[in-house]
A and B are shown apart, each in its own frame.
Chain A
Amino acid sequence: MLRPIIEILNHEDIQQIVDAAYDLLETFGMKVNNQEVLNILANGGAKVDFDQMVAFIPPVMVDNALKTVPSSFNVYDQACKSVATLAEDIVHFCGGSVALNILDSDTEQIRKPKLHDLIQITSLIETLENLSFVTGTVMPDDIPIQLQDAYRYYLLMLNTSKPLFSGAFTVDGLRVQIKMLKVLRGGDDDLKSKPRAIFAANPTAPLMWGGIVAQNMVDSARASIPVMTIPMPLPGGNAPVTLAGTLTEHTAESLSGIVITQLVNPGTPILYGGGAIGLEMRHGTSCIGSVESHLLGIGYNQIGKSLGLPTASNIGQSDSKRVDSQSGLESGIGITLAALAGINMSRGPGMLAFANCQSYEKLVIDNNICGTALRLTQGIECNKETIGLDVIKSAGRGAKGHLSSAHTLKWFKKEIFFPTDIIDRKAIQTGIKSSTAWERAKEEVKERLAEYEPTYLPDDKVREIKAIMLAYAKSKGVTKLPDLTGTGWTG
Chain B
Amino acid sequence: MIQKSLPEQIFDAITNLDGDLVAELISRALDQNIDMNIVLTEGLTAGLRKLGEGFEKGEVFIPELMWGAQIVQQNMEKLEAHISKSNVETKGKLLIGSVENDIHDVGKNIVCSVFSAAGYHVIDLGVDVSTEIFIQRVKEEKPDILGLSALLTTTMHNQRQIIEALEAEGLRKNVKIIIGGAPASEAWAREINADAFAEDVFLGLKKAEDLLEKSNPT
Give chain A's interface residues, CB within 8 Å of chain B. 100, 112, 139, 145, 148, 169-170, 204, 208, 210, 212, 234, 236-238, 241, 279, 281-285, 356
For B62, the chain A residues whose CB sits under 8 A away are 236, 281-282, 284
Q: Top 10 nearest A-B pairs by Cβ distance? A: A281-B61, A237-B106, A284-B110, A169-B154, A281-B62, A282-B58, A204-B103, A100-B183, A284-B201, A284-B62
Interface of A is mostly: loop
For A145, the chain B residues whose CB sits under 8 A away are 153-154, 157
For A139, the chain B residues whose CB sits under 8 A away are 153
Q: Is the CB of B200 within 8 A of A238?
A: no
Give chain B's interface residues, CB within 8 Å of chain A. 55, 58, 61-63, 101, 103-107, 110, 152-154, 157, 182-183, 185, 187, 200-201
Q: Take A112-B185, A282-B58, A284-B201 as given contacts and tell me if A234 and B153 are in contact as well, using a CB distance cutoff of 8 Å.
A: no
Q: Which residue of B lies closest to A101 (CB)?
A: B185
Cα(A208)–Cα(B187), bound, Å: 32
Point out the residue from B58, B107, B153, B187 that lies within 8 Å of A284, measured CB to CB.
B107
For B183, the chain A residues whose CB sits under 8 A away are 100
Interface of B is mostly: loop
Give 12 A-B contacts (CB < 8 Å), ordered by A residue: A145-B157, A170-B154, A204-B103, A204-B104, A210-B103, A234-B106, A236-B63, A279-B106, A281-B62, A282-B55, A283-B200, A284-B106
Q: Which residue of A lies closest to B110 (CB)?
A: A284
Task: Output the residue of B63, B152, B154, B201 with the most chain A CB within 10 A.
Answer: B154
Cα(A124)–Cα(B111), bound, Å: 39
Cα(A237)–Cα(B187), bound, Å: 29
Q: Take A208-B103, A284-B107, A284-B200 as given contacts and tell me if A100 and B63 are in contact as well, using a CB distance cutoff of 8 Å.
A: no
> Shortest CB–CB separation between residue B179 and chain A, in angstroms?
14
For A100, the chain B residues whose CB sits under 8 A away are 153, 182-183
> Shortest CB–CB separation between residue B164 and chain A, in angstroms?
16
> Shortest CB–CB separation between residue A215 and chain B, in angstroms?
13
Cα(A212)–Cα(B107), bound, Å: 22
Cα(A212)–Cα(B128), bound, Å: 14
Point out the residue from B58, B104, B153, B185 that lies within 8 Å of A169, measured CB to CB.
B153
Q: Which residue of B lies closest to A33 (CB)?
A: B103
Cα(A36)–Cα(B105), bound, Å: 26
Cα(A403)–Cα(B41), bound, Å: 80
Cα(A186)–Cα(B52), bound, Å: 61
Point out the residue from B63, B107, B154, B185 that lies within 8 Å of A281, measured CB to CB.
B63
